Structure 1
Amino acid sequence: MRFLVSNDDGYFAPGIAALAEALSRHGDVTVVAPERDRSGASNSLTLDRPLNLRRAPSGYHYVNGTPTDCVHLAVTGLLENRPDMVFSGINHGPNMGDDTIYSGTVAAATEGFLLGIPSVAVSLAGRNPQHFDTAALVVEHLLECCRRQPLTGPQLLNVNVPDVPPEALRGLMTTRLGRRHHAEPVIKASNPRGDTVYWVGPVGAAQDATEGTDFWAVANGYASVTPLMIDLTARDQLDGVRTWLGS
């Protein structure tokens, strides 16, 4: 198999090295990742300047752009053959619930999906994540599932793995996205020139972390696997909007 690997933490992050190493045992791996940390970049594309593609001593390619730029550039310009799958990660920290809207990790996988390629975002859910080997084992298990029953058409999966040793992982669980409370307020500070600056505050606590959600699965020792969709249409509101418009 041919794998394209990206992330939002940068090409130098230990998580992407763990992911690429795990996938290399199952096929050919090409890494195209941002040149610096682009966490929270979501699905942004760089349209106001050209992008540079360079190669690191590790053999990884890096781009002065977003995670979405990396996957788009790789699939539409760099690679001679389309990858069989796109993997993004292993992210340093979780991407659960509402986080998926902002996540550059999920965005890189989403771009692969939009280009017609089965794609997986993988995150290690720890404040200072350590057990990348556990997340790598989850990735290899997903590949075994693909061998037993190949994915029919493009699919987008969001995977979050608890930051525990491999022997402590209780298994994999299919989940839905949970919901968070509102984020904490911005943090007001002053820079060395005396100007007022603002830091975006931390994420809020989970509002919906009931059984069946990604939050519940990870908190209870399971790797959560959530299938995502991109259609943002609020279908249950279509009739109401038609009536409101008088059409």
Structure 2
Amino acid sequence: MDGAMEVYWQAPVIARSTVTAMLLMSAAVHFGMLSGTHVIFHQYFLWKFPPQIWRLFTAYLLTGPQLGLLFDAYFSYQYLSQLERGRYSKKEDLLWYLTFICGTILGVNYITGLGYMTFLHALMISMTYTVVQDQRGMKTNFYFITIPAQLTPYAMIAINMLFPGGAAQIPLQLEGLFAAHLWEFLTKIWPAFGGQGRTLLPTPPFFTTVVNTISGLAGRAAPVVPGPRGAAGGVARGASAGSGPLPDSWRTRGPGHRLG
């Protein structure tokens, strides 16, 4: 148990916190302890008084039922932790990325009138697309075939056609694909070919301020727990956990749910 908790606390903080919230909230919904109507998104709830702004976050945390709860959480952790350890190792940059992606998904969902009320699968496609941009030229296993890594998000979308009700998932995933491609264009493609090296979406200073404030508060509040001492009286420290690879298949992805 101590070893498991040590690995947990040494996991990337944003990925760890997000997936923990995802598991707790989704378990509460799927086991009947919390009504799903309190966490899904609809713009109507934002115009109520007081506005139910938590839905802007919880709509991205609700997983599928049964085994979907575990698999959605697992894959979300894989993608998010790879981003946090890799391209967006600065927490404010990762938070800005997630804010833009989630906001774009909401905007596309509203403009197109698709009516989705939960967006985790769109966010997972976005994160997958961003992760594999840094793996171009590499290969990955998808089901029983080997494909170029950058084709993984497209394969994940196409595979839905093989499952009952899977077609309903595709428009939601396309929202996530569009959001990730727009981010890639504005932050990578445009600076490289037309923007003289300047991104169109620099991280706002507000995010740095928030991260620094939270880090300072957490540092002051964290208790000092002495570890086992060796012969010289030193405190033993754990090693960092490594990141996992991209998933080899999308078999466990259940069909999406369109509400409203």
> Structure 2 length normalisation: TM-score?
0.29
| Richer in strand (by share) | 1
| Richer in helix (by share) | 2
> Structure 1 length normalisation: TM-score?
0.30
Greater relative contact order (CA < 8 Å, ≥ 6 in sequence): 2
